[in-house]
Homo-oligomer: A and B are copies of this chain.
């Protein structure tokens, strides 16, 4: 692509979808960016820039002259325009706002007052809107006049004279009815499928998912119809939220930005990961302290070292599994804090059976396979005794780790923290300590050390 002359690129760009253009833009070298943008021109660039990672947007816009930017911003739908303006610096935002026509500027300013991650910040106001006292003919006339500035007519919303949301209908409901039918008679009422402009974007996305909607109406506290959040926004929101969950579970901090992995700087990667790591390292010192205190046991029976890392890791793994399942189920709205008892009881039993399984495996391993290795044993010690100690320690450790792993996310939610903040590494660090204590206590008791 890079080597071709401008006209060829231009012809190619004409045929390409803007999502593919954005992909191509990110692939080429940075010093070709300006040429690329100039070649495809502001109209084609508008839709493409929306698809770029946040951090690349301002640079891309700077490639255009003020008059080209006017064309570009005019080309954008209102929600995309707001998105872009939220991603550039304050100085650039003011400059760009000045380029908009007075009507667009007012609209954009009113949308900018909603936070980026709210339903209001995500909505488009360019919707098909008709009145309940119109006839089908009047409604179609009104939609036809407004069609240029309407993003979607897949769902048309019906409001009363004061702009309050009453119902919705599909274009075919208008087209397949006689022209004098009152809109009121054919519209379908809208039940709970509406969202406040100030609500979190995740709430809007989940509602779109739950009710299988193409467009979710956004209202103010007086039920006035402000705009809609569309299905494609919902998909993006859900993807972002899932990524955030995944990262938090892995102990990666900070907001998930729209940057792609390869576009994130090393400094940024470092920042998002370093916090948890450092904190957890100091928690791990507690495990080390326990180990140091009980170190003499290990030097008395070297064989105990063989199972120590396993008992500790098994706790981290099962605790991590349990917390991951619970965190995801909470994200999907399958578990409410009220079900804490049920969840805890379920995980307690699951953990017990998992612990029993691992304990049995390891006891059998100790008794059946270890004799072939002729390991040195202190007098009065038998492999059978060690096997029993391992089995008991493992069962205890896995059961308690699973139980803890399931309860911590619920506890976090109960004190209004994000459940995903209880990451798998955090659980692991905590149950490492308890695992050491359990292991040494059980070993001491059973082996009489």
Residues of A near any B CB (own CB < 8 A): 15-17, 19-20, 140, 143-144, 147, 153-154, 170-172, 174-176, 191-193, 208-214, 231-232, 234-236, 238-239, 242-243, 245-247, 249-252, 260-262, 266, 269-270, 273-274, 276-278, 280-281, 284-285, 287-289, 291-292, 295-296, 298-299, 302-303, 305-310, 312-314, 316-318, 320-321, 324-326, 328-329, 332, 334-335, 339, 342-343, 346, 349-350, 353-354, 357-358, 361-362, 365, 424-425, 428-429, 432, 436
Question: How many whole Å from A80's CB to the nearest CB in chain B?
Answer: 11
Other than A231-B235, A251-B321, A428-B428, give 8 A-B pairs with Cβ distance below 8 A: A154-B154, A235-B238, A252-B325, A276-B317, A281-B313, A281-B314, A281-B362, A287-B310
Question: How many whole Å from A417's CB to the nearest CB in chain B?
Answer: 19
Question: How many whole Å from A135's CB to the nearest CB in chain B?
Answer: 15
Write out the residue numbers on chain B whose beta carbons fall within 8 Å of the beta carbon of A329. Answer: 260-262
Write out the residue numbers on chain B whose beta carbons fall within 8 Å of the beta carbon of A288. Answer: 305-310
Q: A313-B429, A428-B313 are contacts. A153–B170 as well, Cβ < 8 Å?
A: yes
Question: How many whole Å from A172's CB to the nearest CB in chain B?
Answer: 5
Question: How many whole Å from A389's CB to the nearest CB in chain B?
Answer: 14
Tell me if B236 and A321 are in contact (CB < 8 A). no
Q: A20-B192, A266-B353, A277-B358 are contacts. A309–B238 as well, Cβ < 8 Å?
A: no
A16 to B192, CA, bound (A): 9
Write out the residue numbers on chain B whose beta carbons fall within 8 Å of the beta carbon of A246. Answer: 242, 245-246, 249, 324, 328
Q: A250-B321, A305-B295 are contacts. A239–B208 as well, Cβ < 8 Å?
A: no
Write 20 A-B pairs (CB below 8 A) sorted by A numbering: A17-B191, A19-B211, A153-B171, A212-B232, A234-B235, A239-B242, A246-B249, A247-B324, A251-B317, A269-B346, A269-B350, A273-B321, A277-B354, A280-B313, A280-B317, A281-B314, A284-B310, A288-B309, A291-B308, A313-B425
Q: Of all chain B residues, which has the CB nearest A150?
A: B172
Tell me if B289 and A324 are in contact (CB < 8 A). no
Q: Of all chain B residues, which has the CB nearest A128?
A: B172
Question: How many whole Å from A1's CB to the nearest CB in chain B?
Answer: 16
Question: How many whole Å from A143's CB to the nearest CB in chain B?
Answer: 7
Tell me if B273 and A354 are in contact (CB < 8 A). yes
Tell me if B281 and A309 are in contact (CB < 8 A). no
Question: How many whole Å from A449's CB to the nearest CB in chain B?
Answer: 14
Write out the residue numbers on chain B whose beta carbons fall within 8 Å of the beta carbon of A211. Answer: 17, 19
Write out the residue numbers on chain B whose beta carbons fall within 8 Å of the beta carbon of A208. Answer: 235
Question: How many whole Å from A366's CB to the nearest CB in chain B?
Answer: 10
Write out the residue numbers on chain B whose beta carbons fall within 8 Å of the beta carbon of A243. Answer: 328, 332
Write out the residue numbers on chain B whose beta carbons fall within 8 Å of the beta carbon of A361. Answer: 278, 281
Q: A153-B171, A328-B247 are contacts. A192–B278 as well, Cβ < 8 Å?
A: no
Tell me if A295 and B292 are in contact (CB < 8 A). no
A173 to B143, CA, bound (A): 12
Partner of A231, one of B191, B214, B362, B425: B214
A306 to B193, CA, bound (A): 56
A425 to B324, CA, bound (A): 12
Q: Of all chain B residues, which has the CB nearest A405?
A: B250
Tell me if B262 and A342 are in contact (CB < 8 A). yes
Question: How many whole Å from A303's CB to the nearest CB in chain B?
Answer: 7
Tell me if A320 and B172 are in contact (CB < 8 A). no
Tell me if A302 and B292 are in contact (CB < 8 A). yes
A317 to B362, CA, bound (A): 26
Write out the residue numbers on chain B whose beta carbons fall within 8 Å of the beta carbon of A314. Answer: 277, 280-281, 284
Q: Which residue, of A213, A251, A276, A339, has the highest number of chain B Cβ atoms within 10 A?
A: A251
Write out the residue numbers on chain B whose beta carbons fall within 8 Å of the beta carbon of A144. Answer: 175-176
A365 to B208, CA, bound (A): 51
Tell me if A250 and B424 are in contact (CB < 8 A). yes
A143 to B173, CA, bound (A): 12
Question: How many whole Å from A65's CB to the nearest CB in chain B?
Answer: 29
A342 to B270, CA, bound (A): 16
